[in-house]
Amino acid sequence: MKVLIADDDLTSRQILESVISRWGFQPVAVEDGLKALQIMSEPEPPSLLLLDWEMPGLDGLSLAHHLSDEDSADGPYIIMLTARDGNHDIVSGLAAGASDYITKPFETDILKARLELARRNIELQDKLNAALKKLEVLASIDELTHLPNRRSALVSLGKEMDRSLRHRTELCIGLCDIDHFKAINDNFGHATGDQILTQIANLLKSGFRQYDVVGRYGGEEFIFAMPTGKTGADMVLERLRASIATHTFKTADNDLAVTMSFGAVMLTDAEEMSLNDWIRAADEALYESKGRGRNQVTFYPFL
């Protein structure tokens, strides 16, 4: 674990570098707060800091306050190491954002114990942050298809819509639905239906482009957005429709043929409509595809 030492006294820095190296830490030593701040702005900065209070340029208290003001779930663990030993100083140091406070001269055993405590706290915080990130991912992904779930997909669509309106660029929003999916579940069972959904999701992931949005909207229905004009959108959707219609869906018990219907709408700033309005328009186009015999792509407005 890297430890940033910021102390303007050369002897103090050298002693700290020597002792913490023996304890298995990797010291990074600087002589003032401005250089310490520069190191903390670099990629992968130290997570544990030993700061002297009085330093040129930027003192330790100001540095601690600055670093603690940053909006971060894994901010540095700061230990103030200073000759200031008054109760008011200790309170000020902790209030500025320091996690611990050690007065000089210090006992090496005390410093070692405090550093080990800091290491444990940092490791626990890292595990907590990793768990929270994992939960965040799980909360945004559909468990079966591994596509973004409805909530996550709608957030992405909203961002694409805002970007399109802001930059006046073309955007296609749409829905697609597996044809006769209820019959698949009724005739072959829900396990087979799940296998079909998983394979459909893989075809959609590979068929849409990297910068397109596609997610599971619910049941056998999927939602998508493509930053492209109508000609480009029609080409992508027709290619997807054809690839699904010609694909052999292999399940545990059967090889099945499956088709999908698509409904899409081109976003325009000529009309003041919400995202829900555009989705409803795409839904009308989808049902028009169903009414025309399924396995089709229909754009709203349709003739």
Catalytic machinery residues: 220
Q: Which residues contact 176 (CB under 8 A, 6 or more apart)?
A: 204, 221, 222, 224, 237, 240, 260, 261, 262, 263, 286
Say how far apart CA 244 and CA 25 lie, in whole Å. 57
Q: What is the DSSP letter of 179?
A: T
Asked, as a colleague might, if the bond just before 105 is cis with ω within 30 of 0, I would say yes
Q: Which residues contact 40 (CB under 8 A, 6 or more apart)?
A: 4, 46, 49, 67, 76
Alpha carbon of residue 262 to chain centroid: 29
The answer to whether the beta carbons of residues 174 and 237 sit under 8 Å apart is: yes
The answer to whether the beta carbons of residues 147 and 221 sit under 8 Å apart is: no
